[in-house]
Amino acid sequence: MPSASSTRRAAGGAAFKRINRAMLLGGFATFALLYCVQPLMPLLAGEFALTAAQSSWSLSISTAALALSLLLSGAVSERLGRKPLMVAAIAIAAATTVLCAFATSFGQLLALRAALGIALGGMPAIAMAYLGEEIEAQSLGLSMGLYIGGSAFGGMGGRLLTSVLTDHLSWRVALGVLGAAGMVAAWVFWRSLPPSRNFTPAEPGWDRLAAGLRQHCSDRGLLQLFVIAFILAGSFVGMYNVIGYRLLATPFGWSQSAVGALSLLYLIGMFSSVWAGRLADRLGRRGVLWIMLATMAAGLLLTLAASLWLIVPGIALFTFGFFASHCVASSWVGRRARGPKALASALYLFCYYIGSSVIGWLCGVMWQSGGWPAVVLALAGLLGGALRLALGLRGVPPLPAPPASAHLGCHVAADGRARLH
């Protein structure tokens, strides 16, 4: 029986290209469906007689359900396989988005959005695990970067497409069109993605899940990456949640549409995630992650300026650093994790989405109490902690190489880059 490393897809091959094409589309569809309601919140508030806080639950309930479903979906995929669960996740999320267009009450809409979040829990962590199993280690950063780039473009595209369709037609038509497009994406994803070569079904039972949790949580390197994920997502969401309030107010006086156009900076994330993935494949994750976190911090500090000529580039630099850091950290989890890989990816993303909720809320509190300087102070402290963890990861010992016959997602490179596990 060939070793797992010998059956992984290498850059340049036809299967490698098919995997990357499918994952790019899967990432786009996942985050377009997840974030498409964000620009609709004022319209939902008007139609269903809601406050702004109540309307925001149309997104919050999805992200909360997604975070909670990640751990379960990771365990299910260890038994049923990667590809079937990912295809089902996109298809069900697309179907619920179509049904959202026919919701007659806000309660119905929330129930459907919660179902969407639960379904999408079967995509992000499983995608990371699939790539960790099927892509050779030297090309994993590139593949992860393409997936995250597709996610960034989906988050931006879902917002923009919904806004344009709503302006010309209605929010219900917008959701219906986006849901139908998601169903097409699920079909193309199913046709494009090659079946797993290196997946081995796990034995059923909660004992194995508990053992996997203990194994991952006893790895100091993984724990530090989980905390970094919490800070990364929270800082990014917190920045974009609050910066609009500053730019709408005097002395800037931006319009709402101009603030919404800031999401175009997500295009930078498409570039930075792929670029950072390639750089990490070449130089190693230990030497790249801390630099990208420092880039985020530098961009954050630029937003303290009084001039838009520094604020907007600061947001762009912050966005660049975020997507690059997320790409490097998430691919590192895929390389380092032993045992149930999807569970390790699920733990990373669970911390990621919980961080977006907690720190995003914290930034709102800081804005109310001390304005933008207080927000920057809080985020700078958090990013400083993440930077310290990333520097500490440089001293975490690498995992030993698995036996040649083991079907694991990590191996030691011949050039000595075993430290990258």
- From the number of C-beta atoms within 10 Å of its C-beta (0-12, 13-18, 19+), residue 94 rates as buried
Whether 6 maps to a domain, the answer reads: no
Whether 47 maps to a domain, the answer reads: yes
404: pLDDT strictly greater than 50: no
Q: What is the mean pLDDT of residues 146-174?
A: 79
Tell me, what amino acid is at 318? F
> For residue 250, what are the contacts with CB-CB under 8 A and spacing of at least 6?
none
- Please write the tens of the pLDDT for every residue from 23-34: 888 888 888 898
Q: What is the mean pLDDT of residues 299-325?
A: 93
52: pLDDT strictly greater than 60: no
Q: Please tell me the least confidently modeled range out of 25-39, 41-55, 205-219.
A: 205-219
DSSP 123: S
Per the CB < 8 A criterion, the answer to whether 285 and 328 are in contact is yes
Q: What is the mean pLDDT of residues 294-312?
A: 94
Tell me, what amino acid is at 105? S
Can you give the pLDDT at residue 421?
Answer: 38
CA 274 to chain centre: 14
Whether 3 maps to a domain, the answer reads: no
For 398, the token pair is 């690498």
Can you give the pLDDT at residue 124?
Answer: 75
Whether 104 maps to a domain, the answer reads: yes
User: Does residue 218 or residue 275 have the better pLDDT?
Assistant: 275
What percent of the chain has pLDDT above 70? 77
Residue 71 sits in a domain whose CATH number is 1.20.1250.20
For 301, the token pair is 């500090």
- From the number of C-beta atoms within 10 Å of its C-beta (0-12, 13-18, 19+), residue 74 rates as buried
Whether 4 maps to a domain, the answer reads: no
> For residue 114, what are the contacts with CB-CB under 8 A and spacing of at least 6?
61, 62, 65
pLDDT band at 41 (very low <50, low <70, confident <90, very high): low
Tell me, what amino acid is at 284? G
- pTM of this structure: 0.71
93: pLDDT strictly greater than 70: yes
Whether 181 maps to a domain, the answer reads: yes
**What range does the domain containing 327 cover?**
12-420
Can you give the pLDDT at residue 163?
Answer: 75
Whether 5 maps to a domain, the answer reads: no
Q: For the chain, what is the domain count?
A: 1
Whether 2 maps to a domain, the answer reads: no
